[in-house]
Amino acid sequence: MTNEADAVQSPAKPDQDSPESASAVAGRRRFGRRLIIGALIIIVLAQVATFVSRSHTASTGSEVHTYIGVANADGENYIEVNARVLEVQPVAGTQQVRLTVIPHGSFANPDGSLKKTINLDADGYVGGSINLSGGEIPPPVQLVLDLDGDLSQYPFDTYSSALEVRLSQVIKNPDGTGTTKSEEPVPMRLAVSAKQHDWAIGSSHADSWEDGAISVSIGAQRGGAMRAFALFELVVMIALACIAVAMTYTTLVTGKPLEFSMFVWLGAMLFALPAVRNTMPGVPGVGTVLDYVGFFWCLIAVATCLITAAITYIRATFKAHRPV
């Protein structure tokens, strides 16, 4: 009788394997699988888009644009100057360009050397101008051009630089005291190309002077993959800040006790956000557009959550230990 009475008085335990709980678990599993599949699809599409963007950027930069100086440069007797952009340095405000001089026709010897001495005058050369000696293969000339652009617009910053190249013949003085740069223009072709990692570089004809000089404008902007990754990092920072705000708000509103792990996580977030920002490709110092759009506000949000949680924890502790 006692066992029967206990069985009547004790409430029946809910069935752990009831149809409702099983359907809820199955729904969560389906939702999780969909999230995983969706994340994999997004990763694959992002990988494909990244390789396509970088390939397009590299092919655009390696494309050679040729500019002709004087009218005689379209014949067989001319000097070709290859200008290759090696490095874009937005922080320093400079651009490294290498000039390679290749003579053709009557200006070249069979071994590829210059038949006569030529004066090369180009923007960005430290010495102003240089004489390329006849009978020698011209050595490469390194130029440092000034960049015009606003670095604070990262990652949508664009730059431009001006390049002017002039070739002149060098003749000996009649008295034999030395040489003089002649005013007679040299038929010249200027070929501009680029080899810079994840930078889209192009050129356009700026001007052509009567003395045979060729002026071009070289533009540079960050590749699509670099911009997309920087924006992705910004979205990650905003998402982390939103998660911190949501968790702090939920804990305070529901009245759940604050745990020490909560403070550890919020404190780690304050150091994690600058680390995430610094992983952006080619990111400059603090103060860009992205910092004012997201980074600063994310830091403020996480710091506010940490301070609010700390104050709430301290007040709750004092109330719990206050003598009645």
- Residue pair 197/173 in contact (Cβ under 8 Å)? The answer is no
Count Cα neighbours of 197 within 13 Å in the Cβ-side half-sphere.
3
- Residue whose tokens read 């006692």: 2
CA-closest candidate to residue 234, choices 295, 317, 184: 295
| Phi, psi values for residue 258, rounded to 5° | -75, 130
Q: What is the pTM of this model?
A: 0.74
Give the per-residue pLDDT at 241: 93
Count, residues in the chain: 324
Q: What tens digit of pLDDT does each residue of 83-115 get?
A: 999 999 998 999 999 999 999 888 888 888 888
Check whether 16 has a pLDDT greater than 60: no
Q: Is 178 exposed, middle or buried (0-12, 13-18, 19+ CB in 10 A)?
A: exposed
Three-state DSSP class for 116? Answer: coil
Q: How far apart are CA 149 and CA 136, in angstroms?
A: 39
Q: What tens digit of pLDDT does each residue of 279-301 get?
A: 888 889 888 999 999 999 999 99
Q: What does each C-alpha distance from 2 to 9, 13, 37, 170 come to in angstroms?
A: 10, 20, 57, 123
- Residue pair 227/155 in contact (Cβ under 8 Å)? The answer is yes
Q: What tens digit of pLDDT does each residue of 219-229 get?
A: 998 888 888 88
Check whether 17 has a pLDDT greater than 50: no
Q: How far apart are CA 168 and CA 181, in angstroms?
A: 6
Q: Which residues contact 213 (CB under 8 A, 6 or more apart)?
A: 69, 121, 164, 165, 166
Here the tokens at position 120 are: 């090369």
Supply the mean pLDDT for the chain: 81
